[in-house]
Amino acid sequence: MRAAEAFEGKHESTQRTRTTVLRFPEGLIGFGECRNFVLIEEEDISPFRRLQSTDRVDVGFFVLDPEYVRRNFLSLVSESDWESVGLADPDAKRVLVICRLGSTLAQSTGNLQAPLIVNDATRTGRQVILGNEYISCRQPLFQSVRRNNGYPSV
């Protein structure tokens, strides 16, 4: 299935779709007016998910758990960032990265430098900027996985 078809929902599927409503009170970088989103999980685009704005129907993203690309990614997010989303339970941490799917898997990238952190207990999130020189806003997604025999890079 083409990425555009998956994003626009232009396919027939008998699978179950799981949705979660998320709120980003500050909006996202470049989309400050977009504060309410639905996270859509579908088997046929896994491991990706769709993050669709409910404030603007023309704004949506493919997102991915960054652990697919880099091991221990959660450790890159500071405790003060987690506190900013009211995190009390460490098990309620969720991180997503916005992805750009290229015409081939090798051309697909993720913004690991500005991940979305979410407190799953309150479903509230925030986009943060990580000051790590070893990650990129255009991090290749599949190059790292291939090089490590299917495991995320270190």
- Dihedral angle over CA of 131, 134, 138, 139, nearest 10: -130
Residue 109 pLDDT more than 80? Answer: yes
Half-sphere exposure of 72 (CA within 13 A, CB side): 3
Tens digit of each residue's pLDDT (9 = 90 or more) over 42-70: 998 889 999 999 999 999 999 999 998 88
**Per-domain residue ranges of the chain:** 3-147
Residue 24 pLDDT more than 50? Answer: yes
Half-sphere exposure of 109 (CA within 13 A, CB side): 10
Asked if the 3-147 domain carries CATH number 3.30.1360.200, the reply is: no
Residue type, 24: F
Q: Please state, as a whole number, how many other Cβ atoms lie within 10 Å of the Cβ of residue 119.
A: 21
Question: Rounded to whole angstroms, how far apart are CA atoms 28 and 24?
Answer: 7
Per the prediction, the chain carries an average pLDDT of 84
Between 145 and 28, name the one with better pLDDT: 28
Q: What is the CA radius of gyration of the chain?
A: 15
Backbone conformation region of residue 45, classed left if phi is above 0, alpha if psi is from -120 to 50, else beta: alpha
The pLDDT, as a whole number, for residue 153 is 44
The pLDDT, as a whole number, for residue 87 is 94
Tens digit of each residue's pLDDT (9 = 90 or more) over 116-153: 999 999 999 999 999 877 777 888 887 654 444 444 44
Note the pTM of the prediction, 2 decimals: 0.81
State how far the alpha carbon of 110 is from the alpha carbons of 5, 79, 114, in Å. Answer: 19, 23, 9
Average pLDDT rounded to a whole number, residues 88-112: 91
